[in-house]
């Protein structure tokens, strides 16, 4: 199969790039290993308090359906159930599960999104234990609950959001607990650190649910201190949020039947085993990181940016990489919400059109406008996954400039 642009990932980033490119008349093939287009949009349903009333509802599933419909109407091909296992810079991508083995393309866009960081607990391989994201997908997308009585371990924006969604769907959420302390949980096992992170990201978080959590912890130091001293859980929509208790073991033979919790000291040590709680499912949350396997295998250097969720591929302001003809968009460039991914997808589309000489002479301003739109989406973004994203973006831009100066690779834009 031959086309102008191969796009890996049919999430919001990949789809909006496809829409722009197809409307410009370029041949586009979008590939996704999931059986349905939309990426992580499908699980999202929240209100954005930063938007004017009437435009606040963010129904990810509906947005995904409209976007992929528009992409097809514009003439692009979307292949689902197809995994990309290698990029050949300059010549295309290799696929598995599709109608052929290679999609030959002049440019490639990597929009592979994010993955969840694991948060292990003793017994986490027992059936019934799953990641918070898995519970979100099963409940919101497939309409099947992870269990009747669920325990959450790991306290972050994603786990709190998912806990709220599960409760609304009729699950008894027994509580949200700290992960077991130790080197794997690291700072996310420390009560003080968790409160700090929550209060910094929660005022930006989606929905009343997280806002309430924000108010709860965003108060004065004295209040936060009091909260820390208290062994009583905070209460969010009737869900106990335990800042001084951790899940330390999941128990069960063929499937989960209970979890063991322990009291945690201020500095994150186990004080005392607490109690055994009956549950039929456990959701673990350790945060999100950019899914960079494909782009790293193509030889693109990764840079450590904790503010963006971990290692991110070095890329330029027009979402270009060091490999000529290979571009990036969406959460693979750093963990941010879906509106940012959509804006980045558009920018990548314009950038690729320019790379292929298809932007047209009078249209350079489209590039500037697309860059501005990314900035605007960022400002309006309701959800901040990691405090410090803005600083990390600046640092990344500086690194790119330094690379451009130090190498002969300055033949972009």
Which residues form the interface with another protein (CB under 8 A)?
33-35, 61, 81, 83-86, 94, 96, 101, 115-118, 120-122, 124-131, 133-148, 169-170, 180-184, 186, 253-255, 270, 289, 291-294, 296-297, 302, 304, 306, 310-311
Say if CB 104 and CB 1 are below 8 A apart: yes
Query: Binding segment for ligand FAD among 7-15, 185-193, 212-220, 222-230 (CB under 6 A)?
Result: 7-15
Q: Determine which residue in the list 10, 171, 262, 354 makes contact with ligand FAD, applying CB under 6 A.
A: 10
φ, ψ dihedrals at 82, nearest 5°: -120, 120
Rounded to a whole number, what is the distance in angstroms from the first to the last CA of the chain? 29
Which of ligand FAD, another protein, none sits in contact with 114, Cβ below 5 to 8 A by type?
Answer: ligand FAD
C-alpha angle with apex 364: 360 to 366, nearest 5 degrees?
105
Asked if 300 interacts with ligand FAD (CB under 6 A), we say: no
Which positions from 35 through 54 interact with ligand FAD, judged by CB under 6 A? 39-41, 43-44
Which of ligand FAD, another protein, none sits in contact with 375, Cβ below 5 to 8 A by type?
Answer: none
Closer to ligand FAD at the Cβ: 224 or 289?
Answer: 289
Which of ligand FAD, another protein, none sits in contact with 11, Cβ below 5 to 8 A by type?
Answer: ligand FAD
Integer-rounded Cα radius of gyration of the chain: 22
CA distance 177 to 124: 15
Q: Determine which residue in the list 92, 128, 133, 175 makes contact with ligand FAD, applying CB under 6 A.
A: 133
Q: In terms of residues, how long is the chain?
A: 413
How many other CB atoms sit within 10 Å of the CB of residue 54?
A: 6
Mask of contacts with ligand FAD, 62-101, x by CB under 6 A? ---------------------xx-----------------
Which of another protein, ligand FAD, none sits in contact with 139, Cβ below 5 to 8 A by type?
Answer: another protein
Describe the crossing of helices 207-217 and 157-168 by its angle, rounded to 10 degrees.
130
Beta carbons within 8 Å of 69's beta carbon, 6+ residues apart: none
CA distance 149 to 171: 6
Closer to another protein at the Cβ: 76 or 135?
Answer: 135
Q: Determine which residue in the list 181, 268, 330, 349 makes contact with ligand FAD, applying CB under 6 A.
A: 330
Which positions from 155 through 214 interact with ligand FAD, judged by CB under 6 A? 158, 161
Closer to another protein at the Cβ: 313 or 382?
Answer: 313
Beta carbons within 8 Å of 98's beta carbon, 6+ residues apart: 31, 79, 81, 82
Which of ligand FAD, another protein, none sits in contact with 26, Cβ below 5 to 8 A by type?
Answer: none
Helix (H, G, I), strand (E, B) or coil at 244: strand
Helix or strand run (H / E) with residue 58: strand 57-59
Q: Is 301 exposed, middle or buried (0-12, 13-18, 19+ CB in 10 A)?
A: middle
Closer to another protein at the Cβ: 147 or 349?
Answer: 147
Say if CB 2 and CB 332 are below 8 A apart: no
Say if CB 140 and CB 43 are below 8 A apart: yes
In the complex, the residues that contact ligand FAD under the rule CB under 6 A are 8-14, 31-34, 39-41, 43-44, 83-84, 111-116, 133, 136, 158, 161, 288, 291, 294, 330-332, 337-338, 341, 383
């Amino acid at each position: 199969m031959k086309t102008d642009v191969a796009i890996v990932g049919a999430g919001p980033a990949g789809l909006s790039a496809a829409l722009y490119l197809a409307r410009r008349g370029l041949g586009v093939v979008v590939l996704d290993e999931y059986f349905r287009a939309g990426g992580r949009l499908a699980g999202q349903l929240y209100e954005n308090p930063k938007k004017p009333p009437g435009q606040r509802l963010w129904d990810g599933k509906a947005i995904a359906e409209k976007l992929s419909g528009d992409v097809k109407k514009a003439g692009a091909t979307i292949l689902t159930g197809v995994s990309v296992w290698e990029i050949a810079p300059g010549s295309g991508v290799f696929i598995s599960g599709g109608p052929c083995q290679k999609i030959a393309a002049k440019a490639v866009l990597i929009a592979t999104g994010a993955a969840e960081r694991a948060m292990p607990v003793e017994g986490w391989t027992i059936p019934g234990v799953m990641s918070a994201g898995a519970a979100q997908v099963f409940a919101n997308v497939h309409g099947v609950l992870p269990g009747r009585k669920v325990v959450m371990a790991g306290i972050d924006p994603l786990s709190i959001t998912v806990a709220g969604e599960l409760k609304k769907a009729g699950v008894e959420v027994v509580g949200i607990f700290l992960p077991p302390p130790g080197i794997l949980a690291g700072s996310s096992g420390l009560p003080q650190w968790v409160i700090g992170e929550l209060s910094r990201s929660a005022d930006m978080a989606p929905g009343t649910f997280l806002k309430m959590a924000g108010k709860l912890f965003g108060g004065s130091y004295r209040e936060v201190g009091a909260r820390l001293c208290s062994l009583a859980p905070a209460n969010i929509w009737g869900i106990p949020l335990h800042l001084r208790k951790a899940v330390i073991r999941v128990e069960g033979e063929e499937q989960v039947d209970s979890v063991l919790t322990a009291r945690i000291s201020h500095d994150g040590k186990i004080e005392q085993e607490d109690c055994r709680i009956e549950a039929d499912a456990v959701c673990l949350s350790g945060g999100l990181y950019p899914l960079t396997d494909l782009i790293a295998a193509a030889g693109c250097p990764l840079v450590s940016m904790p503010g963006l969720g971990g290692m991110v591929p070095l890329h330029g302001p027009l979402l270009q990489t060091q490999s000529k003809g290979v571009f990036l968009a969406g959460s693979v460039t750093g963990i941010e919400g879906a509106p940012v991914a959509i804006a980045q997808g558009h920018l990548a589309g314009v950038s690729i059109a320019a790379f292929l000489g298809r932007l047209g002479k009078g249209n350079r301003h489209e590039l500037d406008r697309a860059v501005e739109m990314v900035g605007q989406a960022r400002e309006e973004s309701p959800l901040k996954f990691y405090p410090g994203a803005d600083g990390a973006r600046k640092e990344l831009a500086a690194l790119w400039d330094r690379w451009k100066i130090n190498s002969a690779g300055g033949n972009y834009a």
